[in-house]
């Protein structure tokens, strides 16, 4: 059986519901050879995951999912084999989290304008630690508790997604800047869930700019999209990755998908490793 890796998972360090150690245990139970911890704009969950991985005999790839805005929508760039212990790199991420905080304030203000009794304080009670951050799923959870919606999906469809009534998108770094941030730190930059953006021209623009890879196997990429991304990856020498985008559980259901359900072969991990090693030279 070919060894597999889930290269896109989140923990409580950002908007997941599981401790980093639990992600590692789930990966081990799923028979994976490796997994990446890719929290939004933070590396806070990586040390715990690394420690657990040593005990369980599984590889943890240090990663991050960098938030950016391109053509008026959220664009996420995954960074692999990033220098998660480097102070300068961590400080760059602090600035990204501060922008996320400003967005949260604007979102909550918009929800209040719509007559919803939500407060910043109640949403932020979910936050643990100064380097852990709050995102839209936490706001969605608060909307569920208030009885405004019944699910995360409904919260995004009605209020928080790009077609939602409360959607806001303050200025952030561009996807090109996100790619450069990761690469300048010695990491490998991969475009996350390109199927979500519905903008093939943007994807091609980022490939031309210098992306290292593209996330082909993701629960939000349609089958015909995957075939297109494979074609582009082969034409441009990109690493083809895959991941579940696991965020833990919302009720009894895994969100986005169960850890280990969407993966890449271990050869993709080796390609990422080699690219990072070459860049650090």
pLDDT computed for residue 132 by the predictor: 60
Separation between Cα atoms, residue 54 and residue 1, nearest integer Å: 23
Number of helical (H) and strand (E) elements in the chain, helices listed first: 10, 10
CA distances from 22 to 18, 40, 272 (A): 6, 18, 24
- Amino acid 104: pLDDT: 92
Confidence at residue 169, expressed as pLDDT on a 0 to 100 scale: 83
Which residues neighbour 133 within 8 Å (Cβ) at sequence distance 6 or greater? 13, 14, 15, 40, 41, 42, 97, 100, 101, 127
Cβ distance 139 to 164 under 8 Å? no
82-113 pLDDT, tens digit each: 999 999 999 999 999 988 889 999 999 999 99
Q: What is the mean pLDDT of the chain?
A: 94
Dihedral of CA 12/77/240/261: which sign?
Answer: positive
Task: Kindly report the pTM of this predicted structure.
Answer: 0.89
* Average pLDDT score over residue span 245-250: 92
Buried b (16+ CB within 10 A) or exposed e, 116-131: bebebeebeebeeeeb
Residue written as token pair 């657990």: 52
Query: Does the pLDDT of residue 129 top 80, yes or no?
Result: no
Note the pLDDT of residue 32. 98
Query: Is the confidence at residue 37, as pLDDT, over 70?
Result: yes
198 pLDDT exceeds 70? yes
Largest CA distance in the chain: 55
Contact criterion met (CB below 8 Å) for 84 and 78? no
**pLDDT tens profile 157-185:** 999 998 999 999 888 999 999 999 999 99
Q: How far apart are CA 140 and CA 266, in angstroms?
A: 35
Structure tokens at 116: 């919803």
Q: What are the residue boundaries of the structural domains of the chain, listed by start?
A: 4-280
Peptide bond into 256 cis (omega under 30): yes
CATH of 4-280, one of 3.20.20.140, 3.40.50.12780, 1.10.1200.10, 3.40.50.300: 3.20.20.140
């Amino acid at each position: 059986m070919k060894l597999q890796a889930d290269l896109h998972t989140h923990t409580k360090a950002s908007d997941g519901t599981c401790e980093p150690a639990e992600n590692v245990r789930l990966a081990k139970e799923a028979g994976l050879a490796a997994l990446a911890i890719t929290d939004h704009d933070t590396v806070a969950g990586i040390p715990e995951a690394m420690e657990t991985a040593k005990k369980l005999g599984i590889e943890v790839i240090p990663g991050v999912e960098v938030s950016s805005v391109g053509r008026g929508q959220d664009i996420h760039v995954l960074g692999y084999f990033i220098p998660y212990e480097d102070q300068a790199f961590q400080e760059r991420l602090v600035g990204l989290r501060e922008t996320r905080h400003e967005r949260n304030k604007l979102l909550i203000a918009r929800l209040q304008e719509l007559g919803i009794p939500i407060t910043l304080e109640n949403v932020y009670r979910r936050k643990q630690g100064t380097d852990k951050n709050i995102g839209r799923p936490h706001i969605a959870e608060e909307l569920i508790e208030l009885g405004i919606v019944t699910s995360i999906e409904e919260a995004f469809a009605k209020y928080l997604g790009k077609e939602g009534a409360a959607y806001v998108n303050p200025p952030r770094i561009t996807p090109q800047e996100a790619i450069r941030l990761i690469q300048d730190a010695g990491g490998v930059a991969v475009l996350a869930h390109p199927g979500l953006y519905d903008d093939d021209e943007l994807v091609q623009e980022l490939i031309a700019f210098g992306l290292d890879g593209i996330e082909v196997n993701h629960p939000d990429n349609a089958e015909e999209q995957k075939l297109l991304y494979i074609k582009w990856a082969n034409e441009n020498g990109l690493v083809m990755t895959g991941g579940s985008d696991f965020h833990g559980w919302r009720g009894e259901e895994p969100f986005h998908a169960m850890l280990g359900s969407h993966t890449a072969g271990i050869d993709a991990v080796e390609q990422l490793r080699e690219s990072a090693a070459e860049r650090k030279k």
